Every structure is written in structure tokens, then in C-alpha cells.
Amino acid sequence: MVELFAILARNMRRFITMPLLACLLLLGVLSGVRAQEAEPGKNEEDNGYSQISIFAKAIELIRQDYVDGNKTSYHDLVTAAMKGMLSSLDPHSQFMDPNDFRDMQDDTRSRFNGLGIEVSMKNGLPTVVTAMEDTPAAKAGILSGDQILRINGVSTERMDLQDAINVLRGPAGRKVTLTLLRPSTKEIKDYSLERAEIKVQSVKGVRLLDAELTGPFRIGYLRLIQFNEPTAEELSKALDELQKQGMQALILDLRNNPGGLLNSAVDVCAQFLPPNTKVVSTQGRVASQQHDYATSGAKKERPNFPMALLINEGSASGAEIVSGALKDLHRAILVGETTFGKGSVQNVMQLPDGSAVRFTTAKYYTPGKQVRQGNGVAPNIRVAMTPEQERALFALRNAENVKPEDERNIIKAKDPQTLRAIDALKGVMIYAQQNAPKAEAVKK
């Protein structure tokens, strides 16, 4: 059998219809052939044909002698190899079986079953990017940066990211126990959570802030929870409503926003920037990954009202595109803490059996040519929050029937980031008012 696979590897085109060889060809294309074409002469031994032959031999040795024959089907072995290959590249590359791929598509439509946790690999452990509002995770008090040590008692130290996600997700109504380490306090705690159907509303908390906080100015506020297909449209409607109420300035809250669709983030930027403004660019190894993304040429006209963006460690990906663009283009003041630092582009390509490969092809660059991968976006005004303040804010966001006075008191006592954003916007508007007559006089 080993000899047969060696023959197949040497005669790839002739036997291309064989299922296993198709998988092997994919491995060769991704890990060997393409690398050789991109960098000829770097390693004469690194070619797809020889490596596929070695891989085929390893598979047959395992199938022949491994103690547990139930684990040695071609499908299981090749799937495991695909998972290992993609996860070895970086924390954001992964292999998705057909079910995983369907789950990912559901995410972009703002609906799935799970706990409401966005996770990424950090320092070798699944780490909470954010716990989304109105979900079991947020209601339990799980915070950005919490590290998942165990899931249902099973250590995550050697767990693949997709495997961890698969356990976190699943049928609604079933419980999952997480053991989390909070690096800021060194506290280790168990959380017993029940899965639920998660329906992510992109835009929340739309309102004019209490006059006791803003004084004579009308400062609007809204939160973007994620960047999904309907986000830009929902945001446009929210801004229309705030403008009808006489909004003079806006606080856009991107705290704990884990990102989402690139095009959605660009469309959000279009609500605040002139048409055809470049907001982000990508650069990769090949020419097809060099791309500039700009706002649409057709844009609803809006006043150039002062803006402040709230960001923290849970602001990632699409949230970093928006905050990086509005900062570099001097459209908004950023208040809070440095963002997560997820600034790479992943392409998702579906395979013939319904599975898919997701792998990094480029890095994002802000309009000011800043790389966000590993660095994040730094605020103009740095304001830290304690874990106790974060828990209070989470409790407020996930509570039902909150009275306006309770919300105002929480902001005053527990949300220094929003208070600093209000002060910054008030300062901008006071300065504008004081200098408006001078500007008119100069014109005359």
C-alpha cells in the first residue's frame, strides 16, 4: 500500500479523482508547491510531490499498526492533519469541518447557539476576546482577557481553538462548565453556564445622555456590538433618530466589540467620513492581497459633529479598523485602553466536501500606515477601568428595565471612560462656540 501511494504521488494528475489524493493534493498545494513557487531555490527538497509521498506513507503505517483501528479512517487522519497544519500557522488560521463552516456563516448573520463568548488563542490558551451583551457569558460576569483553563473539566492546554469553540457551542439548554483565570487578579473561578440561542443586535443603547452629565450640550450615545451584515444599516437609522433629537456630538462605544465582517466595518466608517476615503489597506505576499478599502461614493450627508470612541482590550478586528481609521483621519477622539491587536486578514475557502480552510493572507494597515497586529490601537486619552468597574458596567448592560437615574449613577460612579469622553466632547464644543464669532469676523 505504501508503494501505491508513492506511485499516486508521482502521477498526481492521472489519479486526481481519488478522494484521499485530492486531500493530499490540497496539502501539497498549501504547504509545499505554492511555497516553492513563491520562493524558488530556498529549499530544493521542499516540493509537494516528495512531501505527499512521505505523508501517504505515514498514514498507511498508522492504519496498519496503530492499536485502535477505530481512529484510523482516512477521513479522521486527514482531517486531523488539516487541523494541525492550519493551527500551526498562527492563532487565527483553522480548518473547519462542514458543521463548523455552517456555524461561522450563522455568526455573520447574527444568530447562533452558544454561550456568547468570542475567543482567540493567546499565550497558548483560549482567551476571551469579549463576552457579548445579553448572553449567558456576559450575565455571569465573564470579562475580556479571561483565560479558559478547562472546559467541562478537560484541560485546554493542548486543545485546538476550533475544538474549544465546538464545545462552547451546541444545542441550547445544555450546561457547560468553564474554569477561568483572570490575569488581572490571578483569580481562578468555575462558571456553570447554560447555552442559549444568541441573537446579536448590532446597535444598542441609542439615546441622548442625561443632561446632568452633559450640561447644556446634547451628546448622543450608542454601542456597536459586532460588525455583521445589518450593522451599517442599523447604525444609519440610529444616527437619523439621534439627529432628529438634536444631537450635537456622539459617543460611539466599541468596548468589547470583537469585530466581524470587513465590509461592514468599512460601511460603518462611511457614516462619518467623506465619500471615497481610504479607511484601511491590506498587504500580503501576493499581489491579490494588496488592497485599499474606501468608503462608498454614495453617502448620506451628515453634520460633521464631534465624536469620541470608547475602546478597550475587548475591541478587536473590525472595531480596530474603525477606531484606527477615525483616529488617523482625525475624525474622532479615542478614549479608553489599547485594543486587542487582531490586525490580520483571513480568507475562507470552501472545499468540495463542505468543509473549509481559513488562513491568514495579509495584515491590516490604518490610513496612517500603522500595523495593528499584536499592537492594537492606542487611545488619545488613556483611561483604565478596574475589574470591579467593568463588572458593574456589564451588570448594567445586561440588566432589564434599567431606570435612567440608575444608569446615570452607574456612569458617574463606575464608568470613568464615558465621563472622560463627555468632558472631551464638551471641551471641543465650548472651544468651537468661543471661536465661532472670531471666525465670522475674520471672514468679514
Catalytic residues: 317, 328, 342
On whether the CB atoms of residues 261 and 108 are closer than 8 A, the answer is yes
Cβ atoms of 363 and 104 within 8 Å: the answer is: no
Beta strand 344-350 pairing with 249-253: unpaired
- Inter-residue contact 110 to 199 (CB < 8 Å): yes
Characterize 113-145 residue by residue with b for buried, 16 or more Cβ atoms within 10 angstroms of its Cβ, and e for exposed. Answer: bbbbbbbbbeeebbbbbbbbbbbbbbbbbbbbb
Written as one string, the DSSP assignment of 25-56 is HHHHIIIIIHHHHHSTTS-TT--HHHHHHHHH
Other beta carbons within 10 angstroms of residue 35's beta carbon come to 17
Enter the C-alpha cell of residue 206. Answer: 441609542
One-character DSSP codes across 313-378:
TT--THHHHHHHHHHHTTS-EEEES------EEEEEEE-TTS-EEEEEEEEEE-TT--B-TTT---
Contacts of 337 (CB under 8 A, 6+ apart): 311, 312, 313, 379, 382, 383, 384, 385
Kindly report the length of the chain.
Answer: 444
